[in-house]
Amino acid sequence: MHTIAITPTRPAIVLWFRHDLRLHDHEALTVALQDEAAVVLVYCVDPRHYAALNLGVPKTGAFRARFLLESLADLRASCQARGGDLVVRVGEPERVLPELAATVGARSVYCHRDAAPEEASVERAVAQSLRRIGVAMRTFAGHTLVHADDLPFAVEALPDTFSQYRNRVERRVDIRVPLPTPQSLSLFAVDAGELPTIGSLGLIEPTSDVRELFRFRGGETAGRDRLQVWMWDADRLRTYKTTRNGLLLTDDSSKLSPWLAHGCLSPRLVYAEVRRYERERVRNADTDWLVFELLWRDYFRLVLERWGARLFAAGGLNGLPYPWRRLGDGGVRDDFDRWTTGQTGFPLVDAAMIELAATGYTSNRARQNVASFLTRVLGIDWRLGAAWFESLLVDYDVASNWGNWAYVSGVGNDARGFRFFNVLKQAREYDPNGDFARHWLSARDGNDPLPMVDLFAAADASALTYERAVAKLPAAQGVVTRR
Ligand code: FAD
């Protein structure tokens, strides 16, 4: 138990950590400390995040839970090194935070706000329960590269396509410099609480797979290490654009996503390092491309903020009446299970799904292919795939996951584009020697299952169905593109 002396002469502020598990570039924390209050730092392990989805898998699977617990342990150590501590409670924030605020005599709770509907509704419930005891809640924008206050348009006027969005922000916005890490924190006479274990969350500790090439370790310290190793020591930013579509090798892309998703790294810190790299090493299309991807990340957050719950509808943002096959329909459960277990008979898809199940990660190119396969080839409701990813991904981020799924499925922003990834052609292009497939499918010894569908017949049927669905939309302007 960690108990410490309170400083009763100063008014307290409770700082509620959410997807921002870091001390650097933390606006809510910085402002709380500037307000000259003693700050009580807390994280609530919300049991709702570990409930089962209707697919029968937990909303947060073991890989992400492990990463989160490691991140909390690291954050606690960093707080302790600065004279403070991290209070950890298992419970709903709307119950935990008023209790804690009352215990420490806090006058307000600060946090970074989250636009996702579930998170926003928890935030409203917290604000309401705090109001009842006379405690204020103050929220900040802390997740994006471009600060929300610097956007050159209101969220309601978010450009429809990423390119338009990017042009506008690149021309008009200066990215803010990351805020410094505080040097000292205060201690309170509160039981800091033990961190839960994976088992206490109802999950089974992941076993390490011999094929795993990179183990993601949670926490700000490990995130900074990864940034240092990939960008500077291995010097991989200079070739990022060329290698980022690689399927197998760890350093082909930055692998920063879990740290960004949990907020262990601020995108502005990554940006600042890119600009420093450009000054000290090289500036080229590859260095620019990492910023481009961080802008995609921002864009999906804005799409979610702009459209809210519509992003989770079967027809997506435009209500496209695509007749998805649903879980209760004949044969869908079997087809879905073949997809999740890597038994489709298409090596690129199978290898990626096996990698995902074994590690909680697969590359962007692989994600695009498996998502396209589920939705375009099998015609299965894209939301089942997104929910499967939600459970498994170590880097799950509600906006990036559901936004990318909707996009690949032709129901997102920039909809009305039929996207079909020909998994055979993609394998020839991105896995020309079959290294990725061999690595993840080695146990099969060449005995691959037979292809579960006729790829081209399925894709043609899907294209036709898609065009018909688009034609039902008002002012339809279907664009058919194939990659
Ligand atoms: P890098 O190529 O090194 O990119 C650097 C950073 O830019 C990433 O860490 C990420 O934060 C951001 N980024 C890159 N590509 C995208 C993208 N397409 N959309 C949004 N941000 C991007 N990313 C998540 O962080 N969480 C998710 O839940 C998620 N789900 C996805 C689901 C599908 C179906 C698809 C197609 C993509 C998804 N992505 C998601 C985006 C992307 O696949 C991952 O961010 C990327 O693979 C992470 O590896 P990396 O850090 O090496 O990426």
- Count the neighbouring beta carbons within 10 Å of the beta carbon of residue 23: 22
pLDDT at 54: 85
254 lines ligand 1 (CB under 6 A): yes
What is the number of alpha carbons within 13 Å of residue 131 lying toward its C-beta? 7
396 lines ligand 1 (CB under 6 A): yes
Atom of ligand 1 nearest to the CA of 363: 47
**Euclidean distance between CA atoms 280 and 273, whole angstroms:** 10
In this structure, the residue with its CA closest to atom 49 of ligand 1 is: 255
**Euclidean distance between CA atoms 51 and 319, whole angstroms:** 28
Q: Distance, CA 401 to ligand 1 centroid (Å)?
A: 8
pLDDT at 238: 98
Q: Give how far the C-alpha of residue 171 lies from the chain's centroid of Cα atoms, to the nearest Å.
A: 27
297 lines ligand 1 (CB under 6 A): yes
413 lines ligand 1 (CB under 6 A): no
300 lines ligand 1 (CB under 6 A): yes
In this structure, the residue with its CA closest to atom 25 of ligand 1 is: 257
CB distance 139 to 149 below 8 Å: no
Mean pLDDT by 10 residues, the chain (483 residues): 48 96 98 90 98 93 98 98 97 98 96 95 98 98 96 95 94 95 93 97 95 98 98 98 98 98 98 98 98 98 96 94 96 97 98 98 98 97 98 98 96 75 97 97 88 95 93 63 34
**Euclidean distance between CA atoms 158 and 403, whole angstroms:** 15
401 lines ligand 1 (CB under 6 A): yes
By the 10 Å C-beta count (0-12 exposed, 13-18 middle, 19+ buried), 134 is classed as exposed
pTM surpassing 0.85? yes
**Euclidean distance between CA atoms 92 and 398, whole angstroms:** 19
296 lines ligand 1 (CB under 6 A): yes
The residue assigned the tokens 């017949």 is: 457
In this structure, the residue with its CA closest to atom 52 of ligand 1 is: 255
Q: Distance, CA 144 to ligand 1 centroid (Å)?
A: 14
352 lines ligand 1 (CB under 6 A): no
DSSP per-residue string spanning 176-201: PPPPPPPS-----SS---PPP-TGGG
pLDDT at 25: 98
Atom of ligand 1 nearest to the CA of 371: 34
Q: Distance, CA 39 to ligand 1 centroid (Å)?
A: 33
144 lines ligand 1 (CB under 6 A): no
Question: Residue 355 has which token pair?
Answer: 């990698």
255 lines ligand 1 (CB under 6 A): yes
For a mutational test of ligand 1's pocket, the pick from 364, 405, 409, i.e. the residue with the most ligand atoms closer than 8 A to its C-beta, is 364
405 lines ligand 1 (CB under 6 A): yes
Atom of ligand 1 nearest to the CA of 396: 28
pLDDT at 214: 97
pLDDT at 414: 66
Q: Distance, CA 44 to ligand 1 centroid (Å)?
A: 26
What is the number of alpha carbons within 13 Å of residue 67 lying toward its C-beta? 30
